[in-house]
Amino acid sequence: MAEWRAALAITSALAGVAAAGTAGAEDGFQGRQITIHVGSGPGGAYDTFARLLARHLARHIPGNPAVVVTNVPGASGRRMINYIYNVAPKDGTAIGTGLSTLAFDPLMGEASQFDAQKLAWIGSSNKETAACIIWNGSPVKSIEDVKQRTTAVGSSGPSSTDSIYPNVLNALFGMQFKVVQGYASAPEMSLAIERSELDGRCGLTWSSLQSVNADWISGNKIRIILQFALEKHADLAGVPFVFDLAQSEEERQILTLWAAPNQMGRPYFTAPGTPPATLELLRRAFDATIRDPAYVADAAKVGVGADPMTGEEVEALVKKVYATPQAIVEKAGVAARGK
């Protein structure tokens, strides 16, 4: 009997601690502010998605905190992710979002100040399909033309899919993409394309085209010469699929590693060490927001998709990618760096 009472007391105490933790997480957002840090400049797709989320997230968080967005461009989002990982408070008030490929910098041997497997993943608002697009004034008409002609494409930096994908295509299939890095924002890159300073981009997502550059599609101003994802997109019937280029299992494994980040195309995360109850609250609030009819309606208005992943699904995908055989990782990293 004494042992039973002791066990009951311990169980009750643990339940009380769990309840207190959840209550503390809920009460902690009353009168506070959550800041979403976007790892790129204003006007791009990540900024668009973040501001859409910010308009609706507070309704689903107990305490209804203010939710604001700030842009933290620099080093293709590394400045942002390093801040979230190393400096930001571990209380859920600082959320980061940026290039999904950033999470795999450490895997690829890039000098990094974070461990992606320790980040507190909240979710992803959309799965993505990347596209190689060419301005209609360019002499390049197809992906096969890129094997014969130097094709200048823009990028913000080495961690961007705009650098990784053309470099991988060059390494695996003999393409002649010339990656021009250093663009601070998507609008700056778009202007360079419209001025014919660049032939196009190879890493721009389909959702970005639909939301930010819709006039390029409706006005037939671009050609889409390749889609890069794990699965073909229903909207892009007839557009060549990157896996159709692969001739060996090794090539398919390398493409799989680099296409996987598209599955978590618009990820959100907070600092490692965030209390589990707080992370759980943010994850469920995120899930509820993405399903909210008001959010879905707003997403449709700005032309962005709503094909989300939960925080648990993003976390599992990150772990799966990090389990890729080392020999494939090394070859994929060399290809992505353009060496």
The CATH number of the domain holding residue 155 is 3.40.190.10
Q: Which of 76, 96, 85, 154 is closest to 119 using CA atoms?
A: 85
pTM attached to this predicted model: 0.76
Domains in the chain, number? 2
Q: Is 64 part of any domain?
A: yes
Are 82 and 166 in the same domain? no
CB–CB of 92/279 below 8 Å? yes
Shared domain for 75 and 164, answered yes or no, is no
339 located within any domain:
no
Three-state DSSP state, 67 = strand
In this structure, the dihedral spanned by the alpha carbons of residues 308, 314, 316 and 318, taken in order and rounded to 10 degrees, is 140
Query: Is position 335 within any domain?
Result: no
Q: Which helix H or strand E contains 124, and what residues bound it?
A: strand 120-124
Q: Please report the pLDDT score of residue 306 as a whole number.
A: 76
Sort 46 into a burial class: Cβ within 10 Å, 0-12 / 13-18 / 19+.
buried
Q: Do 227 and 288 fall into the same domain? A: no
Is 170 within the bounds of a domain? yes
CA dist., res. 25 & res. 62, Å (int): 9
Q: 10 Å Cβ neighbour count for 75?
A: 15
Q: Contact, 138 vs 199, CB < 8 A?
A: yes
b or e along 144-179 (b: 16 or more beta carbons within 10 Å of the residue's beta carbon)? ebbeeeebbbbbbbbbbbbbbbbbbbbbbbebbbeb
Contact 160, 76 (CB under 8 A): yes
Q: Please provide the distance, in angstroms rounded to a whole number, between the alpha carbons at the two ends of the chain.
A: 71
Domain with 87 in it: 2-126+265-319
Q: Are 241 and 255 members of one domain? A: yes
| Nearest CA-CA partner of 160 in 104, 89, 118 | 104
For residue 221, count other CB atoms closer than 10 A to its CB: 15
Question: Are 18 and 122 contained in the same domain?
Answer: yes
pLDDT tens for the 339 residues of the chain, in order: 433 343 333 333 333 333 334 444 556 698 999 999 999 889 888 899 999 999 999 999 999 999 999 999 888 889 999 999 999 999 999 999 998 888 988 988 878 899 999 999 999 998 889 999 999 999 999 999 999 999 999 998 887 889 999 999 999 999 999 999 989 888 899 999 999 999 999 999 898 888 788 899 999 999 999 999 988 998 999 999 999 999 999 999 999 999 988 889 899 999 999 999 999 999 999 999 999 999 999 998 887 777 899 999 999 999 988 998 999 999 998 999 886
248 found inside a domain: yes
Say yes or no: 281 and 257 in one domain: no
